[in-house]
Amino acid sequence: MTREESRAGAVTLVRSLRLSWIAAQQSFVRPQVRGETTLESVYGLHIPRALDEACDPQRLALIVYDMQVGILGQIKNGTEVTAKVVEVLHAARHAGVRVFFMRHMSLPNELMGVFQFRMAMAWQRVSRPADVKPWFLRDSPGFHLVPEVAPLPSEAVFDKITMSAFEGTPLDIALRDCGINAFVIVGVATEVGIEPTVRHGADLGYIPIVVTDACGAGHQEAGDRALASLRYTGDAILTDVAEISEALRGHAGRSRELSR
């Protein structure tokens, strides 16, 4: 073999190896094709990874978090967030997803404890417990849900005095009793109550799905940090209104096909 032939063979080999490496990289980062499943099984467990795999309407709930008159009034883009929440609510109802509403409730000052006073002082920007006002007493104007998200008779409303929707409420047992293993969450505020609910829900074994553009923040930078932290730790699936609506429509369509 001449020197030129040897050099040509080496060049061909290098090109072949480079093409093989590129093909392997493209295969590794290949985006998921719509409708393609990434569901994996191990030890008899099915492990959802994609949004569509966690959106079975029979095993999914929608949590509408603190969409109250007195809270939405503190959110700069409250009107836009409300419109997005309504979109998700309609999609969930159409797909047959169970819906649960949360409301934050104030206790009378005489019944507040240390946590309640500390939280209220931080929210109201006051330095003395004596200056705290119980903004969300039951049946006060600010306590009510905004009319755009009025619950149906088939939906539940739970009241809480904590940040996590699971702490001190019937939410966990209600979901488990229905065989639910994942929940979509929308509402306000991302950095105050939605992030704690997502982390608590994940610790309880649920798959949380956060619809980021249907969640409002009282402090935008803090809200962005909360979402970035959830994205980094992998506690939840983060999506938007368009994607979750499409996923729910797809499941609703398949359910209708199966029922024929």
Total number of domains constituting the chain: 1
Task: Identify whether 11 is part of a domain.
Answer: no
Task: Identify whether 32 is part of a domain.
Answer: no
Task: Identify whether 38 is part of a domain.
Answer: no
The per-residue pLDDT for 7 is 59
Question: Please, what sign has the CA dihedral across residues 53, 50, 241, 162?
Answer: positive
Q: How far apart are CA 152 and CA 165, in angstroms?
A: 20
Task: Identify whether 26 is part of a domain.
Answer: no
**Token code pair at residue 142:** 């600010």
Q: How far apart are CA 177 and CA 241, in angstroms?
A: 27
Output the tens digit of pLDDT for each of the chain's 260 residues. 565 655 555 545 545 545 454 444 444 334 444 444 556 788 988 888 899 999 999 999 999 999 999 999 999 999 999 999 999 999 999 999 999 999 999 999 999 999 999 989 988 899 999 999 999 999 899 999 999 999 999 999 999 999 999 999 999 999 999 999 999 999 999 999 999 999 999 999 999 999 999 999 999 999 999 999 999 999 899 999 999 999 999 987 665 554 55
Task: Identify whether 87 is part of a domain.
Answer: yes
Helices (H), ranges, the chain: 3-28, 69-72, 78-95, 114-124, 171-177, 195-203, 220-233, 241-259
Task: Identify whether 44 is part of a domain.
Answer: no
Where residue 100 sits, what CATH number does that domain have? 3.40.50.850
The per-residue pLDDT for 25 is 43
- Nearest C-alpha neighbor of 89 from the set 180, 186, 213, 179: 186
CB atoms < 10 A from the CB of 237, how many? Answer: 23
Q: How far apart are CA 121 and CA 17, in angstroms?
A: 65
The per-residue pLDDT for 254 is 63
pTM of full prediction above 0.85: no
CB atoms < 10 A from the CB of 163, how many? Answer: 18
Residue range(s) defining the domain that contains residue 214: 54-259
The per-residue pLDDT for 31 is 43
Whether omega before 252 lies within 30 degrees of 0, making that bond cis, reads: no
Task: Identify whether 2 is part of a domain.
Answer: no
**Torsion, CA 163, CA 164, CA 168, CA 169, rounded to 10:** 110
Task: Identify whether 33 is part of a domain.
Answer: no
| Cβ neighbours of residue 89 closer than 8 Å, sequence gap 6 or more | 62, 64, 99, 149, 186
The per-residue pLDDT for 42 is 86
The per-residue pLDDT for 82 is 98
